[in-house]
Every structure is written in C-alpha cells, then in structure tokens.
Structure 1
Amino acid sequence: MSKEDRRIAKSQEAIKKAVIELMSEKNFDDITIQDISDRANVSRGTIYLHYVDKFDLLDKLIEEHINKLQEICKSVSEMNYKEANLPWFEYLEENYLFFSTMLASKKGAPSFRSQFHGFLMEEFKGEVNIKAGINYGLSEDIILQFIVTSHVGIVEWWIKNEMPYPPRFMAEQVGILLERNL
C-alpha cells in the first residue's frame, strides 16, 4: 500500500469513526458534513471526495459491516453453530460503538435492522430442512422468520444491554438454540 493509499484509508476511517461518534451523541438529521469534518479533522472536500452526502456515508458504513459479517459466515460455514457464532459475537463486541449506535439511533436503526434481517434471511435459507427431522411439514418461510427475527432480537438485546455476557457464552447459548430449531 502506497503512502497515498494509507493516507486515504486513514481519512476514511476517521470519517467513519466521526459519524458513528456523532450519531451516538445526537440525531442523524442534526449532524452536518461540517460536524463530521470537524470531528474527523479532515476537510469537507475530503468527505465529498469519498461520499455523495451523509446518507451515502451511512449507507456505505452499514454495507461495510454487513459485508464483514458475510465474510465471517463464509469462513465458518463448515463449523457447528456454537463454533460459528463465536467470530460473529467477537466482531459485534469489537465494533460495539457502531452496532449500539445503529440499534439505538432513529435514523440508523430501521435501515441497519432491515439490511441485517435481509442478510440473515439469505444466510439461513439453506439451513432449513422441512423434508425431514423436527421441521418436517412446517413452512420454510415461517421457520426462517422465526430464526432470523430471534437472531436479530438477541443481537439487539445483547448490544443494548451493554453485552452482559461474553462473546463465547453468547455463541454457545445461541448455537444451542439454533441447533434445536434447525
């Protein structure tokens, strides 16, 4: 990575961190590009070089985290649910400010929650077996909604309650519940 590339990456990280911090302090609608610029210690022009506006910045930030969660899913696809959940919960813990802000903010929450839900629907789609076992004869759509809505709800509960249990404990508990229901 060249010196220029490192400088660009550093600016983008400062901008993303600034918008998350600001969203944890005030309503997204009240945040200006100037606020982000001041917090990130970059010029407004630098922000506009990378993002159309603050909505584009928020969308790209959400997309980046969803993409990272997808990468984690791909890397753990051969593991059982308990093992596969651990990198997830560790990632959520490492990015607590982002996830807590997205789940608490009026502007971030609906968009993030919707994308998070859609992403999980795709991930769990291949996991449901209604042709045999405990889910024989049940509706795949209903099972998927049950599993995904539960998963999103557990993540929201864990984050909003300031992670009352460590990632390993959460991974084990959620893994057991997934194994029971899938």
Structure 2
Amino acid sequence: MPKVDRRVLKSQEAIKKALIELMSEKSFDDITIQEISDRANMNRGTIYLHYQDKFDLLDKLIEAHMNELGEMGKWACKLDWGQALLPFFEYFEKNYLFFSAMLASKGAPSFRTRLLEFIIQGFQAEMDTAGSKHDDVIEDVILQYTGTAYVGVIEWWIKNGMPHPPQVMAKQVGDLLGSNLF
C-alpha cells in the first residue's frame, strides 16, 4: 500500500473537522463548500481534489467512523458486557463532536440508521455465538429491541453532554444487556 503524503492527510483532516464544526452550528443542507473551505482555511479547489461534493465528504466521514467502530473487535462473546462495551463508549467520547453533530443534525438522518444497522449486526453475531435467554421471543424482535435501546442510550448520552464517564455507561448498558437478553 503506497504511503499517503502527510499534507494530503492534514488537508483531509482539516476539511472533515470543518464540516463537523459547521454541522454542530447549522443544518447540513445549509452548509456550502465555500463555508467548509473558509473554516478549513483552504481554497475550494483543495476540497474538490479530495471529494466530489459535500455529500461525498459526509459519506466518507461517516464511513471512516463506521470502519473504525468495526475494527474495534468482537462484542461481548464470553466477556463481561461492561468491559466489551467500554471501548465503544470511549470511542464515542473521543469523537464527541462528530457523534454530537451526526445525531443532532437534521441533514444526516441516515447516520442514525447506519449506526443502528452496525449495532444490530454486532448483536446478531453475539446471538449466533452465545444465544439468547429468551427462546420464546423472535430473534428479529430481540435484535431490534436491543439495537434501538443501545442507540437510544448513546444518543441520549451524547446529546446530554456525556453526563457520566464511559466506564459508568459501559457498565450500566452491559448490566442491562447481560441480565436481560444474552
């Protein structure tokens, strides 16, 4: 794999940061490439060297975070749920501005859907490995219930300025998952 020029990486990071900051201030639909370039302190042409348009930029930004979450490894799979979820809550905390902008923005409703799909896939893998405590409940119902609850907790935590540290959140959610579902 060829090494990427540090200047290219620095430009891309500045562009992504500018978009996230702007999304925390206004709707994605109201953001222009000119505003992104002004915020990133570069000309519009530089943005177009890296991205087709603001939608491509947003899609690549979301994709990068989803890939990072996916690389964080397995879910609980015989681990304590609280310990298994801790890296995820730490990641959400570390990337607070991104998740805050994505979950609060009217311009990126697809992000919540993508996050939910990611979470459900993780729970599906867990159910395939460990099973469920509820043989009488349809698997799809369990997955939708747990996925929606988990995303809802993440959303609440982010929107309320992370009132509890990641360790507390991971333990709380882990206790709920471990005692009720898996």
Alignment TM-score, normalising by the size of structure 1: 0.91
Q: Which residue of 1 aligns with 2:28?
A: 28
Given the superposition, is the C-alpha separation of residues 138 and 35 from structure 1 closer, same or farther in structure 2, using an over 3 Å criterion? same
Written as runs of structure 1 = structure 2, the 5 A alignment for 1:11-90 is 11-74=11-74, 79-90=79-90
Q: Matched residues in 2 for 1:89 and 1:171: separation?
A: 6
Q: Which residue of 1 aligns with 2:148?
A: 149
Deviates more, 1:120-129 or 1:9-18: 120-129
Q: Matched residues in 1 for 2:126 and 2:45: separation?
A: 46
Contact 2:76 2:126 (C-alpha < 8 Å) held by counterparts:
no
Q: Helix, strand or coil for the counterpart of 1:135?
A: coil
Q: Matched residues in 1 for 2:132 and 2:150: separation?
A: 21
Q: Which residue of 2 aligns with 1:102?
A: 102
Q: Give the superposed CA RMSD.
A: 2.0
Deviation digits for residues 19-76 of structure 1, max 9, x if unmatched? 0001111111111111111110122111111111001101111111111111113487
Deviation digits for residues 88-145 of structure 1, max 9, x if unmatched? 111100111110111111012x11101001111111112226x976211220000000
Q: Helix, strand or coil for the counterpart of 2:133?
A: helix
Q: Which residue of 2 aligns with 1:111?
A: 110
Q: Helix, strand or coil for the counterpart of 2:155?
A: helix
Deviates more, 1:8-17 or 1:38-47: 38-47
Q: Matched residues in 1 for 2:142 and 2:16: separation?
A: 36
Q: Matched residues in 2 for 1:58 and 1:133: separation?
A: 36
Given the superposition, is the C-alpha separation of residues 95 and 86 from structure 1 closer, same or farther in structure 2, using an over 3 Å criterion? same
Contact 1:73 1:84 (C-alpha < 8 Å) held by counterparts:
no
Q: Matched residues in 1 for 2:73 and 2:98: separation?
A: 19
Contact 2:82 2:175 (C-alpha < 8 Å) held by counterparts:
yes
Counterpart of 2:26, as a letter, is K
Runs of 4+ in 1 over 6 A off after TM superposition: none
Q: Does 1:174 align with 2:167?
A: no
Q: Helix, strand or coil for the counterpart of 1:72?
A: coil
Identical pairs, percent: 59
